[in-house]
Amino acid sequence: MATFPLAWGERTFIMGILNVTPDSFSGDGLLNAWDPPREAIIQAQRFLQAGADILDVGGESTRPGSRPVTAEEEMQRVLPIIQAIARQFPEALISVDTYKAPVAEAALQAGARLVNDVWALRADPQMAEVVARYRAGLVLMHNRSNPLSVEVRERLGAAYQGAEYENLLEDVKRDLRASIALARAAGVPDDYIILDPGLGFGKSVAQNLELLNRLDEIRALGYPVLIGPSRKSFIGYTLNLPPDQRLEGTAAAVAIGIARGADIVRVHDVPFMVRVARMADAIVR
């Protein structure tokens, strides 16, 4: 089992996605199951056996056009799952995908050791202090999503439209540096910070492709990098394929991401992407 901080640089680490939602864009929301904790245990076991290093549990969909949920509702969704996984797999490295400090704190008390914040500390001013107090790992994801700027295509699903950037890479780096400063000011150690360029969040298809191809510039900031290209709309729009047919496109994005410096890949199709990552590692590491 992986322990945090991870041994950065030795290999690519795999984060398996456990969506505890009814409206996941990829159709894998565990909240639709008749017994979500039981289904989560089955999926967690499958992910761990396939080679996942981190299990990322999220209770609010981030798909374009999704309905926000309250902290109370989010906790009702994720806490039973995190507790069940922590009991069944005590050595598993569990991440909670949330931007709300109360949810993060409850999840860390329940057994999570990593907070995956899709708003990089900018949605809840208390988040940095909570992460620091529990000495948890922290993923800071770049995000300029606008819920009012969404394109929907019947076959391909919804996608956020690109935000305004003066210079894509420089703007992303500047925003991430600001979030790093918030984390450090609260006492989060440098080696507990991970950066995510936010593929699919407030970027056009072309901007996502450019960001992935120039990922080494994000890595040059000096922190481990996580990417989450799995089944994203920029893949679907590039290949003209719906979410359930984006395996190969995801594999290409994962392989290129690793070649450009990604340390963690966040994916739905864990067994396949473990193989992609191992092969990419054999080439570039």
Q: Which positions are catalytic?
A: 232, 266
**CA-to-CA distance for 249 and 267, rounded, in angstroms?**
12
Residues 30 and 18: beta-carbon distance below 8 Å: yes
Amino acid at the residue 14: I
Element spanning 178, H or E:
helix 168-186
Residues 199 and 208: beta-carbon distance below 8 Å: yes
With helix as H, strand as E and coil as C, how does 136-174 read?
CEEEEECCCCCCCCEEEECCCEEEECCCCCCCHHHHHHH
**CA-to-CA distance for 247 and 235, rounded, in angstroms?**
9
